[in-house]
Structure 1
Amino acid sequence: MNPIMIIGFLFFTGIVVFTSWYKSRRNKVSTLNGLFFANRNLGFLLVGGGLLFTNINTASIIGENELTYTKNMTVMAWGITSVLAMLIVSEFSMPLYLKLGIATTPDYLTARYGLGTGKLVSFIFLISYIINLLPSLLYGGAIAFNGLFHFSDVWKTDYWATIWILIWVMGTIGCLFSMLGGLKAITILDILLGIGFFTGGLLLPIFGLKYLGHGSFLQGLHTVLTLHKEHLNSIGSPSDPIPFSTLFTGMLLVNLYYWGTEQYIVQQVLASKDLKTSQKGIAVACFGKLISPLVLNIPGLIAVHIFTKMHNTAEAFPRLDSLVSPPFIAGFIAAVIFVAALTTFNAGLNSSSTLFVLNIYKPWLAKKSRSVPEIELVRTAKRFEIIVCLAAMFIAPFIIFAKHGFYTYIQIVNGFFNVPIFTIMFMGFITKRVPAIAAKIGLAFFIVSYGLTQLVFDLHIHFLHILAILFVLTCGIMLLIGKLYPMPVPYTQRLNNLVDLKPWKNRHFFTGILLLMMILMFILFSPLMLAK
């Protein structure tokens, strides 16, 4: 373990955490609005940074580089195609959410289908966070740190025991930070992470290519562009992790769910000053997604030419960093990974307590005709965060036994939660008489059917295509129920906007530029150009 690397890590981590605390210290978290929504006063850079770096985390850094190393650039589709979904959400979903003045996405489902459906979806969200989102972040962070600092060798412990220790250290720190700072501290952390992320995104490929070229950056670049060219291809075949056809079926649905329904993502936008600010913030996040392959994929490409064989391919990124970067810079990049894990983990914890307090606990109090001071609700939210954090820390180490790779595991498990929720949200948007029972039957049908295809029957169909097929079938079932048993009174929206709803007038111009850049990225990494 290099002491200079440790110093670099502690130095940069200390700067980020101290600055985040200093900037948010005046905002005492004594209200739910302050804890969950930063008093709905975030500017577009904070909104954009919050969206981007709540999304980019250790799971994506470790997982996407692993798949780029073992397969090819097809995995970049998760991030690049999300630009289209984000722009759709910016134009249609966010104006609706802000008009309604909702605090959580289940709030909309409660208004549309009734309290029972809202509670059910809140429980599904919480289960998703506890068994998948939060554990995967901790596990990805633990893998990264062991790969960077070689703790298992230093401590003379076996690999699994090391992962347990690192997960519990990271989880404890993340929980403390979330409870003390709330969403305001998390979003400030995101901006600082953005500076470090893209600085590291430039430095690591430069050092990696220089190492590969024996001191010559151009020679290293020539090696990557001329050898193992199959890794440069982003146009997936049926045998690749992301077949190209899935971009137009299940991947589109997953991205629409993620950017327009996922609570810990939507919460970043609901905290904006107004609609114009939220749309600008989403555009900033889109641009960030287009340049994120510098960190999410390019290191994996370089690792292909340096490591001919790895015992644990999930360590492709951290092993490359510790090998090619100067020790102080390697420590800086390690700090970026740590903060990336921290910011998404904190956002997940914060959203978990948001869902619990606003959609489960407060309705329960109302049913019991009990009144509780707001400061007590804040304490309840923080106690719930501790419970969720402990559960995630116990589950995280067992991800080591997942098949098909870490990142693929995450996406497959997400299928149990994401598109089913998006389906009933979508049907709520486009229909007025589909009843609550249709939403509940639709959720049950989708989740059970998807589970059978993944755990019992092997249909030899990509899981993203299966999600698209089930989406169509579930929509059909819900429409049929709505035809046979329609709501007596059609649903009408009750507007309760808390912020200005004037849209950003330049949004269409920037939408065109961002979509063009998205298409050019796929052309660049295709048999038409680099993979020729």
Structure 2
Amino acid sequence: MHAITLISFLFFTGLVAFITWRVTRNDDHRSTGGYFLASRSLTFPLIAGSLLMTNLSTEQMVGLNGAAFTDGLSVMAWEIVAVIALVMLALFFLPRFLRSGIATVPQLLKIRFDDTTQLICNIIFLMAYAVILLPIILYSGAVGLQGMLDLPGLTGIQSDTALLWGTVWIVGIIGSVYALFGGLRTVAVSDTLNGVGLLVGGFVIVYFGLQAVSDGGGVMAGWDALKQANPDKLNSIGGSDQQVPFATLFTGVLLINVFYWTTNQQIIQRTFAAKNLAEGQKGVLLTGLFKLLGPLYLVLPGIIAFNLYADDGIRADEAYGHLVFNVLPPYLTGFFAAVMVGAILSSFNSALNSTTTLFSLGLYKDVINKDATEEQVVRVGKIFGWVMAAAAMTIAPMLAGQESLFGYLQKMNAMYFIPILAVVLVGLLTKRVPSSAAKISLIGGCAIIGLVYFVPPFTGLLDVIHDFHFVSLVFVLLVAFMLILGKISPRATAWVHEDSGKVDLTPWRYAVPSGAVLVVLVIAIYAAFAG
């Protein structure tokens, strides 16, 4: 069994690597535009594939299914509400980003406010990616692979600690090679190939999982058995004692999704590389359509695992890997593990590519060495990327023991998501708010959320108000503060959002009706499963 699993794993991993090399071997990896923005050549299939796969790593596959193992269908909020955020990206944010001709979100803040605001935002992003995002991607990937491939049995290593460290470093090194030698287009192509495998594999797991629930009686019989055995797990409306209470969909959950899909450098860098606005909008809205299918392969398997293994004493974040290993035939287990490695690599190399972009263009070129050539910028970015990768691979194993990986990720993300979103939104919607308001909000917002998260007695506030309601309250206060300061001490001249001329801004003619259809489908899905 192990031999078949390993052969199928190596075959699919090697196939993706070979095709990616063939497609991108003649790309421009020497200039900043070619390396960081794929020479602004991405069309909608590559944008959609890369957006989907950058998002769908094991912190999603393992973490969200683990959350579903505990709380059921209500955690689908992270997938379904994301569609609203993607519609906002396509119709509001993306036209303005492409008008600016930016490569990073902090560059927008430089255009709207000043150099110091850009510097602060760059530092916040880099610290968050180094300490939160990159380590969580590697840790969740290692946990998922250990379950899917039965790595203790495959390798003969029985020490959980040694296996965790080894898996993290192997995956981290491979992901670093993709990101740092290939550039953004290499990342986008490999993402798209792995995306096809992930969607196919995700639905195959649901098929075999439902078969297991029904003892071979068929998929529909398995679905009926699931509804009869655990009807409370199939309710889209989260209770007050669950990770995503229904009321938080309209506060913190919505705001975290809006930041993630509209202002998070790791995600939206591939939209900055769109060939034109129309291609960017089509890619973003196609991603929204795929996200509507997310509950089928990111939530339902966790509910199936609960039905099958609730009495076996497994932890929530081990449920998905346990299901895959037990219900898939060996040759498909290897294939899906390869897809999962692709998903890990996708998120890791996308985050690492974005990290090098933020450092190279935001700090090295703008602050450290303003006279650097494009080749110098790319070279220094690669060196910095290896340093960040090593730091992430060192921190990742230390995350072992978190009760809910996905819940931990969203909580930590909120600390910097909320201030940056508030500043970007106010910056785009107002003309007179000064740079001082943005700087105070960025630093103050992170500090306030950090105090309440980690410093007694401030942490007691979270006993009174839910985490997600709290961060939305901080968002409202930051926006109000900036607007008030804009009235008291406005900038001398109104800001004018000039067209950089770098991108064709002709919109896709069906963008608005397509966005409206996606919003209607979101409401319909919630209504269909409301208990």
Please indicate the TM-score interval, normalised by the length of the shorter structure. Answer: over 0.9
Name the structure 1 match of 2:396. Answer: 396
Secondary structure, in 3 states, of the residue corresponding to 2:312? Answer: coil
Name the structure 1 match of 2:487. Answer: 483
Name the structure 1 match of 2:6. Answer: 6
CA RMSD of aligned residues (A): 1.4
1:276 aligns with 2:275: no
**TM-score normalized with structure 1 length:** 0.96
Is the CA contact 1:87–1:511 (under 8 Å) kept in the aligned structure 2?
Answer: yes
How far 1:56 moved relative to its partner?
1.1
How far 1:132 moved relative to its partner?
0.9
Name the structure 2 match of 1:453. Answer: 452
Give me the whole-angstrom Cα distance separating, in 1, the residues matched to 2:378 and 2:200: 37
Name the structure 2 match of 1:309. Answer: 312
How far 1:366 moved relative to its partner?
5.2
Q: Which of 259, 262, 268 lines up with 2:261 in the alignment? A: 259
How far 1:363 moved relative to its partner?
1.3
Is the CA contact 2:149–2:334 (under 8 Å) kept in the aligned structure 1?
Answer: no
Change beyond 3 A, Cα 1:366–1:487: farther
Is the CA contact 2:437–2:486 (under 8 Å) kept in the aligned structure 1?
Answer: yes
Q: Which of 502, 505, 511 lines up with 1:507 in the alignment? A: 511
Look up the equivalent residue of 1:193 and give its one-letter code. N
Name the structure 2 match of 1:364. Answer: 367
Is the CA contact 1:137–1:341 (under 8 Å) kept in the aligned structure 2?
Answer: yes
Give me the whole-angstrom Cα distance separating, in 1, the residues matched to 2:99 and 2:351: 25
Matches for 1:372-411 after TM superposition, within 5 Å:
372-402=372-402, 404-411=403-410
Give me the whole-angstrom Cα distance separating, in 1, the residues matched to 2:225 and 2:178: 43
CA deviation profile, 1:254-278 (whole Å, cap 9, x unmatched): 1111111111211110111100000
Name the structure 1 match of 2:145. Answer: 145
Give me the whole-angstrom Cα distance separating, in 2, the residues matched to 1:264 and 1:319: 30
Secondary structure, in 3 states, of the residue corresponding to 1:417? Answer: helix
Is the CA contact 1:35–1:378 (under 8 Å) kept in the aligned structure 2?
Answer: yes
Give me the whole-angstrom Cα distance separating, in 1, the residues matched to 2:145 and 2:22: 27
Matches for 1:416-431 after TM superposition, within 5 Å:
416-431=415-430
Name the structure 1 match of 2:414. Answer: 415
Give me the whole-angstrom Cα distance separating, in 2, the residues matched to 1:175 and 1:50: 17
How far 1:365 moved relative to its partner?
4.4
Q: Which of 463, 466, 471 lines up with 1:462 in the alignment? A: 466
Look up the equivalent residue of 1:21 and give its one-letter code. W
Name the structure 1 match of 2:354. Answer: 351
Look up the equivalent residue of 2:366 and give its one-letter code. P
Name the structure 1 match of 2:210. Answer: 209
Is the CA contact 1:273–1:499 (under 8 Å) kept in the aligned structure 2?
Answer: yes
Change beyond 3 A, Cα 1:47–1:469: same
Name the structure 2 match of 1:95. Answer: 95
Give me the whole-angstrom Cα distance separating, in 2, the residues matched to 1:310 and 1:64: 19
Give me the whole-angstrom Cα distance separating, in 1, the residues matched to 2:160 and 2:529: 36
Name the structure 2 match of 1:291. Answer: 293
CA deviation profile, 1:424-471 (whole Å, cap 9, x unmatched): 111111222221111121122222221222223222221111111011
Is the CA contact 1:98–1:497 (under 8 Å) kept in the aligned structure 2?
Answer: no
Look up the equivalent residue of 2:359 and give its one-letter code. F
Look up the equivalent residue of 1:172 and give its one-letter code. I
The number of equivalent residue pairs is: 523
Secondary structure, in 3 states, of the residue corresponding to 2:460? Answer: coil
Give me the whole-angstrom Cα distance separating, in 1, the residues matched to 2:122 and 2:274: 23
Name the structure 2 match of 1:342. Answer: 345
Name the structure 1 match of 2:80. Answer: 80
Name the structure 1 match of 2:166. Answer: 165
How far 1:209 moved relative to its partner?
1.4
How far 1:14 moved relative to its partner?
1.2
Structure 2 segments unaligned to the other structure (5+ residues): none
Secondary structure, in 3 states, of the residue corresponding to 1:216? Answer: coil
Change beyond 3 A, Cα 1:202–1:311: closer
Is the CA contact 1:24–1:185 (under 8 Å) kept in the aligned structure 2?
Answer: yes
CA deviation profile, 1:94-148 (whole Å, cap 9, x unmatched): 1111111111111110111100010100010011111111111100110011111
Name the structure 2 match of 1:112. Answer: 112
Is the CA contact 1:207–1:324 (under 8 Å) kept in the aligned structure 2?
Answer: yes
Identity, in percent, stands at 36
Structure 1 segments unaligned to the other structure (5+ residues): 528-532
CA deviation profile, 1:251-308 (whole Å, cap 9, x unmatched): 1111111111111211110111100000000111001101122221111111011102
Kindly report structure 1 stretches of 4+ aligned residues shifted beyond 4 Å.
none
Give me the whole-angstrom Cα distance separating, in 1, the residues matched to 2:164 and 2:315: 13
